[in-house]
């Protein structure tokens, strides 16, 4: 080796990232835990929507079609209470309240409950919106 290489010292400069870098280095474990918790919550929410709510949504929509048929035939009592094998709007609202179909059944039940004995203008107006929303499901 040459004498010049042996006597030269390598100076390592410490990188200074300022206060933010210092904070991140000091709290690295806590920050990783917080980011990990946020990721877990997001994954849990997506799994809840896909594996719990989506099948219930399909079931509620399938059960509600009979109540909608009674609605269109103006058989208000069967639309609210249901028939032998199919639930009415009341049962769908109580069982599937956290689904879109359950909310739709709630709206239909709210329109039918006060006027179940007589045909009213509000029932005729809401029949169109019920059909429109059910097509979107």
What pLDDT score does 97 carry? 85
What pLDDT score does 77 carry? 83
- Chain mean pLDDT for the chain: 78
pTM above 0.75, yes or no: no
What pLDDT score does 124 carry? 43
Class of residue 9 by CB neighbours under 10 A (exposed 0-12, middle 13-18, buried 19+): exposed
84-114 pLDDT, tens digit each: 888 888 888 888 988 888 888 888 878 776 6
pLDDT at residue 126 is higher than 60 = no
What pLDDT score does 12 carry? 56
Contact predicate 105/64, CB 8 Å? yes
Contact predicate 88/80, CB 8 Å? yes
56-82 pLDDT, tens digit each: 999 998 888 888 888 888 888 888 888
């Amino acid at each position: 080796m040459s004498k010049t290489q042996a006597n030269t010292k390598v100076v390592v400069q410490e990188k200074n990232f300022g206060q933010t870098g210092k904070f991140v280095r000091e709290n690295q474990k806590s920050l990783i835990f917080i980011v990990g918790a946020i990721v877990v919550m997001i994954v849990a929410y997506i799994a809840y929507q896909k594996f719990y709510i989506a099948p219930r949504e399909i079931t509620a929509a399938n059960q509600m079609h009979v109540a909608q048929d009674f609605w269109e035939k103006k058989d208000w009592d069967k639309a609210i209470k249901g028939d032998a094998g199919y639930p009415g709007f009341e049962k769908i609202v109580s069982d599937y309240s956290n689904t879109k179909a359950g909310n739709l059944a709630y709206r239909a039940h709210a329109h039918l409950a006060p006027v179940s004995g007589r045909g009213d203008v509000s029932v005729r107006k809401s029949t169109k919106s019920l059909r429109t929303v059910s097509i979107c499901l």
